[in-house]
């Protein structure tokens, strides 16, 4: 399925699917070109190269993967965009938007985009194996399909430096054949369920949470 990403080349690097033998060279050359374009030094180049090296292993033909770069390269975070070929039910929505490793109630946001319609986003502060990190997750509701995006993991204090990059990217990206369901009420309902006044995430509570899809 064709996923077209509208991205800022000074803040985002798409990661292609590459043969194993080509990955290291691509990461090195791409990092060098990026650092030169934005006026960054060797520290930025090396950081971007290492991040791209890791992400080339994860790229596949069924999704789009990008490296997002915060101001001055202080934060590097992966963004994964993929399509689910059906409309998620409430349990499936919760399984993606909420994780059992979350330390606090989610930070909810109703988002509006040009091509993906109205969606819902959930920010999570998480802890796994003694490590603290943050993620942000998006769902966009379409006729017969769902578009999902996952930002992170990223250091908790760094999430805010790349969220705006992801928001701008998703605002103009599009998916072939995706027809948004302009169901603002669904996004608002998810927003209400994520309220800190609730005890955790009610949809996910029945299953005790689940791993990301």
pLDDT(208) > 80 = no
Q: Which tokens belong to 99?
A: 């994780």
Q: What is the mean pLDDT of residues 191-209?
A: 48
**Residue located via tokens 């990301």:** 212
pLDDT in tens, 4-61: 999 999 999 999 999 999 999 999 999 999 999 999 899 999 999 999 999 999 999 9
pLDDT value, residue 129: 93
SS3 label, residue 115:
coil
Residue 198: predicted pLDDT: 44
Q: Where are the domains of the chain?
A: 10-61, 77-203
User: CA 175 → CA 82, 109, 170, distances in Å?
Assistant: 9, 21, 11
Residue 185 has pLDDT above 80, yes or no: no
Handedness of CA 148, 116, 106, 131 (dihedral sign): positive
pLDDT digits (tens, 9 = 90+) for 125-180: 999 999 999 999 999 999 999 999 999 999 999 999 999 999 999 999 999 999 99
Helix, strand, coil percentages (3-state) for the chain, rounded to 5, are: 35, 30, 35
Tell which wins on pLDDT, 58 or 188: 58
Pure H helices in 8-41? 20-38
212 vs 196, residue with greater confidence: 196
* 186, containing H or E segment: helix 184-193
For the cut 60, the answer to whether the pLDDT of residue 195 exceeds it is: no
Architecture of domain 77-203 in this structure: 3-Layer(aba) Sandwich (3.40)
Rounded average pLDDT over 107-133: 93
Task: State how far the Cα of 83 lies from the Cα of 1, in Å rounded to an integer.
Answer: 8
- Straight-line distance from the first to the last Cα atom of the chain, in angstroms, rounded to the nearest whole number: 18
DSSP conformation class of 203 = H
Tens of pLDDT, residue by residue over 163-173, are 999 999 999 99
Q: Is the dihedral of CA 108, 180, 152, 200 positive or negative?
A: positive
Rounded Cα gap, residues 154 and 136, in angstroms: 9
pLDDT score of 120 more than 50: yes
């Amino acid at each position: 399925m064709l996923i077209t990403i509208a991205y800022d080349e000074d803040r985002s690097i798409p990661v292609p699917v590459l043969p194993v033998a080509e990955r290291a060279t691509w990461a090195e050359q791409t990092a060098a070109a990026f650092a030169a374009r934005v006026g960054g030094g060797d520290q930025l180049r090396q950081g971007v190269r290492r991040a791209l090296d890791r992400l080339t292993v994860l790229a596949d033909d069924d999704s789009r993967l990008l490296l997002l770069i915060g101001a001055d390269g202080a934060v590097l975070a992966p963004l994964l965009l993929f399509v689910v070929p059906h409309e998620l039910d409430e349990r499936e929505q919760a399984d993606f938007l909420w994780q059992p490793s979350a330390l606090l109630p989610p930070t909810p946001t109703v988002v509006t985009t040009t091509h993906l319609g109205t969606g819902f986003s959930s920010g999570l502060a998480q802890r796994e194996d003694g490590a603290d990190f943050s993620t942000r997750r998006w769902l966009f509701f379409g006729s017969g399909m769902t578009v999902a995006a996952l930002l992170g993991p990223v250091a908790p204090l760094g999430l805010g430096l790349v969220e705006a990059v992801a928001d701008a990217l998703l605002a103009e990206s599009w998916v072939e054949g995706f027809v948004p369901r302009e169901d603002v009420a669904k996004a608002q309902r998810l927003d209400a369920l994520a309220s800190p006044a609730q005890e955790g995430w009610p949809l996910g509570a029945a299953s005790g949470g689940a791993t990301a899809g």
